[in-house]
């Protein structure tokens, strides 16, 4: 169990690559990145902030993964006799995405640019 926790929490921390003023000014904007469609707020209001864009990327990737998995698992859940298994997977996935969003918010509040476990290496925004 300790190995799993270590694997999940030992992700790349690139905070040193960001300007401290940018981090301090855009912590609040970065929080919005993990709140579903509110990711649009920092994309528009803090579009010059590398720190906010980092967290926007994390939030967008997390949302895309959750939406795609939700659609696939919802379709599979209509299969007679075994569909309930996919319903359980869907619930577990939702909980996992909530946990990742909370981790992202904690990182943003603490001024960290730390990748999320599992989905953090995926880049959509530059």
pLDDT tens digits along 55-68: 999 999 999 999 99
pLDDT interval class at 120 (50, 70, 90) = confident
Contacts of 115 (CB under 8 A, 6+ apart): 11, 12, 13, 14, 58, 121
The whole-number pLDDT of residue 12 equals 86
Per residue in 69-110, pLDDT (tens digit) is: 999 999 999 999 999 999 999 999 999 999 999 999 999 999
Distances (CA, A) of 34 to 6, 99, 102: 23, 11, 8
Per residue in 29-50, pLDDT (tens digit) is: 999 999 988 999 999 998 899 9
Whole-prediction pTM:
0.87
What tokens does 26 get?
A: 């855009």
The whole-number pLDDT of residue 2 equals 64
Beta strands in the chain (DSSP E): none
The answer to whether residue 25 scores a pLDDT higher than 70 is yes
């Amino acid at each position: 169990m300790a190995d799993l926790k270590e694997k999940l929490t030992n992700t790349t921390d690139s905070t040193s690559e960001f300007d401290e003023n940018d981090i301090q000014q855009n912590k609040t904007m970065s929080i919005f990145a993990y709140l579903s469609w509110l990711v649009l707020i920092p994309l528009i209001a803090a579009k010059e902030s590398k720190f906010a864009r980092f967290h926007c990327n994390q939030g967008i990737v997390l949302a895309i993964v959750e939406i795609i998995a939700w659609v696939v698992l919802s379709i599979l859940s209509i299969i007679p006799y075994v569909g309930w298994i996919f319903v359980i997977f869907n619930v577990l996935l939702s909980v996992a995405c909530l946990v990742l969003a909370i981790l992202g918010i904690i990182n943003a509040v603490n001024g960290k640019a730390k990748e999320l476990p599992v989905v953090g290496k995926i880049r959509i925004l530059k």
